[in-house]
Amino acid sequence: MELRVLRYFLAVVQEKNITKASEKLLISQPALSKQLSDLENELGAQLFIRGHRQITLTSEGEYLRSKASEIVDLADKTTANILTDQVIGGDLTIGAGESVGMKRIIDVMGNINRDYPDVKVHLISGDANEMESKLNSGTLDFAVFMGERDLSDFNYLQIPEIDQWGVIMRQDAPLAAKKSVTSKDLLGLPILISSQAKTNNRFDNWWGNLGPKMNIMGTFTLAFNAELLVESSHSYMLTFDHLLSDNDSKVLTFRPLEPKITEPITVVWKKNTVLSKVDQLFVKRLRASLNE
């Protein structure tokens, strides 16, 4: 597969119409159609269902769309970093979930962008498994892991902040009167839990023998959206401290778990890889922030 053809493919996916895509790409419609047919022949799979006015992707087309986006983004990022190798410029891309530790990391990113305006910063949200996959594929420069994780394949810096687990609930909820929440307190209540914590069985020890009796009503990946559900459904959300915005804190409140559960926060990057100048600067400034 040629990078040029993947760009053609993504343009067609975006426009959902070969004629519109050809106009955007400044190539003829027959030439674009032939490039797409050749791509399908090369892969041995149908990528599009061609309708009268609009095309839709097959399952194979959807798979290629996700991979092609990663490949093109990586190519563009590599080109930008090479072209700006003599100065501090290019892209700085960091993937992470929501955490109190992100303030330190974002402060470092912001200071770099202020001092070197040619640096473009990108924040990608997701859980640790997604971030590790993107880090290994090269579409991320750094990932931020919350919690214990095998770091043998990475270089890393552990930052001093920690995430503390607790429960977000409405301020008028009965449990809001307590200073902390035990597993027994949550019995029979509708609970939201992060997808990663559920997959990793993070609370099995904390639940103890009450685990099978817990009412897990759903899971979430982004705390902000889950907080809206807590507000409307009077449910209880297991998440980290410091994730409530000023507006949310007028309706919702946080109580820590008892016994306490905390998670370390670690910034990681791939071993045996040459860091760009902007990546080196990020590591240098992040390390310096740890000594302040």
Q: What is the pLDDT of residues 75-108, one digit of tens each?
A: 877 776 666 554 567 889 999 988 988 999 999 9
Distance of CA 57 to the CA centre of its chain: 25
Q: Residue 139 pLDDT > 70, yes or no?
A: yes
Q: How many helices (H) and strands (E) does the chain have?
A: 10, 11
The reported pLDDT for the residue numbered 83 is 60
Q: Are 60 and 226 in contact (CB under 8 A)?
A: no
- Whole-model pTM: value is 0.70
The reported pLDDT for the residue numbered 81 is 63
CATH 1.10.10.10 at 3-78, yes or no: yes
Q: What is the mean pLDDT of the chain?
A: 89
Would you say the CATH fold of 89-161+264-290 matches that of 3-78?
Answer: no
Indicate the domain borders of the chain: 3-78, 89-161+264-290, 163-262
- Overall residue count recorded for the chain in this entry: 292
Contacts 24+ apart (CB under 8 A), 148-154: 148/263, 148/264, 149/266, 151/266, 151/268, 153/270, 153/271, 154/268, 154/269, 154/270, 154/271
Q: Residue 280 pLDDT > 80, yes or no?
A: yes
Under CATH, what is the fold of the domain 89-161+264-290?
Answer: D-Maltodextrin-Binding Protein; domain 2 (3.40.190)
What is the number of alpha carbons within 13 Å of residue 231 lying toward its C-beta? 14
Amino acid sitting at position 200: N
Q: Are 57 and 105 in contact (CB under 8 A)?
A: no
Higher pLDDT, 266 or 22: 266
Q: Residue 154 pLDDT > 90, yes or no?
A: yes
Across 44-58, 92-106, 122-136, 179-193, least confident range = 44-58
Under CATH, what is the fold of the domain 163-262?
Answer: D-Maltodextrin-Binding Protein; domain 2 (3.40.190)
